[in-house]
Amino acid sequence: MAIKPAYVKKTGALLLERYPEAFSGDFDHNKRSVRELTNIESKGVRNRIAGYVTRKHEQAAQA
């Protein structure tokens, strides 16, 4: 089963919008936050969302 990039981006953006204080530039911290804030059972999907959130957080910090 393929993970749609649009799903990852939409979910990541929604999490960043609702819980901005729950995320940082640390991937491991974001993995735990995604696990606690969502009910996504797939480890791979959670990791992709955490990676997306980490990238977006780093981009926002540089801007």
pLDDT value of position 8: 96
The dotted CATH code for 5-62 is 1.10.60.20
* Rounded distance between C-alpha atoms, residue 24 and residue 33, angstroms: 10
Give the 3-state secondary structure of the chain: CCCCHHHHHHHHHHHHHHCHHHCCCCHHHHHHHHHHHCCCCCHHHHHHHHHHHHHHHHHHHHC
pLDDT band at 1 (very low <50, low <70, confident <90, very high): low
Global pTM reads 0.92
pLDDT value of position 45: 95
- Give the tens place of pLDDT for each residue, 6-63: 999 999 999 999 999 999 999 999 999 999 999 999 999 999 999 999 999 999 888 7
